Amino acid sequence: MEFEWKGVMPALTTKFDENDNLDLDLFEKNVRAQLDAGVSGLILGGTLGEASTLEPDELKALTQKALEIANGSIPVILNVAEGSTRRAVKAVTTAEASGAKGLMLLPPMRYKPTGKETEAYIREIAGSTHLQIMVYNNPVDYGTEVTLDMFESLMKDCPNIQAVKESTRDVSNVTRIKNAFGDRLKILCGVDTLALESLAMGADGWVAGLVCAFPRETVAIYALAKAGQMDTALEIYRWFLPLLELDINPQLVQNIKLAEKMVGLGSEAVRRPRLPLFGTERQRVISVIERALKSRPVLPEYLKLI
């Protein structure tokens, strides 16, 4: 499947039942809500998906289920976050075999590589596959930056490096990337609280978190912004911002799963060592979500804009 790196691509949470097994029925309910809202792709195995706690057979089951539900309508993209090049190449091979159509690739985990090591890592992985790749550039959380010079070098030899998940927290970097590469490198904002700003600067899409609980509002903001209806997009975005701030928090998984539960699209079940929110912090998050639900905006017919 050929596809474009654009639109809203949810970083999906993984649904568990009370016995810590996959809840594929609840996963399907959420994915169908995403499809109905108009998302452009499904991303599995990221931080929100609690990938580091998943067994290989569980990731395979999630991938197969997502592919079954999407039925070729949008791509299923797998995250690759490994500590060694060897393991990353193996993960890519597994992703290809599973039917995934693209990859989200992080620099090496747990070891802070030099620029040369980062570039060599990405280059070798890209050379091992035909799948399209979106490089996840998040120096704030992961300590490694993929610079513009590195992207320029990589893209000369790796045509399947097609996009960047831009999470440097510097919205002006969208313009730097556009100035350097034009449309050759697609830009998807990876920080919920900078999404509309990034779209206004020319980003092509949004890898979103709160979309897991609020898919229609997320896609509406994207569609309105791209259609030039910025005032309407901004009105929804201002309502959304307190919720989006739940994504830039160490307990983002718990926060978003609580939101999913409160809107009927998920549960609070997380896999240890994570625990569901409790005490005053849980009440604070509930208050944020309740306030938003009481003033939830009526959305325009945004799907016709996509």
Q: What is the pLDDT of residues 247-291, one digit of tens each?
A: 999 999 999 999 999 999 999 999 999 999 999 999 999 999 999
Q: What is the model's pLDDT at position 181?
A: 98
- Please give the structure tokens belonging to residue 209: 């978190």
Q: What is the model's pLDDT at position 114?
A: 96
User: What distance in Å separates the CA atoms of residue 243 and residue 252, rounded to the nearest whole number?
Assistant: 11
Provide the pLDDT confidence category of residue 214 given band limits of 50, 70 and 90: very high
Provide the pLDDT confidence category of residue 2 given band limits of 50, 70 and 90: confident
Average pLDDT value for residue range 169-190: 98
Q: What is the model's pLDDT at position 35?
A: 98
Burial of 238 (0-12, 13-18, 19+ CB in 10 A): exposed
Cβ contacts of residue 134 below 8 Å, gap of 6+?
5, 77, 102, 103, 104, 105, 162, 163, 164, 165, 186, 188
Provide the pLDDT confidence category of residue 210 given band limits of 50, 70 and 90: very high
Answer yes or no: are the C-beta atoms of 160 and 121 closer than 8 Å: no
> What pLDDT, in 10s, does the model give residues 112-138?
999 999 999 999 999 999 999 999 999
CA-to-CA separations, 165 to 62, 185, 203, 208, 245, in angstroms, rounded: 22, 10, 10, 10, 18
The amino acid at residue 219 is V
Provide the pLDDT confidence category of residue 110 given band limits of 50, 70 and 90: confident
DSSP string of 192-257? GGGHHHHHHTT--EEEESGGGT-HHHHHHHHHHHHTT-HHHHHHHHHHHHHHHGGGSSTTHHHHHH
| Residues forming beta bridges with residue 102, ordered by sequence position | 77, 132
Average pLDDT value for residue range 148-169: 97
Please indicate whether residue 228 or residue 109 has the higher confidence score (pLDDT).
228
Average pLDDT value for residue range 62-81: 97
pLDDT at 158 over 70: yes
Q: Which H helix or E strand runs over 66?
A: helix 56-70
- % of the chain beyond a pLDDT of 70: 100
> What pLDDT, in 10s, does the model give residues 33-52?
999 999 999 999 999 999 99
> What pLDDT, in 10s, does the model give residues 20-29?
999 999 999 9
pLDDT at 1 over 90: no
Ramachandran area for residue 183 (φ above 0: left; ψ -120 to 50: alpha; else beta): alpha
pTM of the model: 0.97
The amino acid at residue 134 is M
- % of the chain beyond a pLDDT of 90: 98
Q: Which domains does the chain have, with CATH numbers?
A: 7-305 (3.20.20.70)
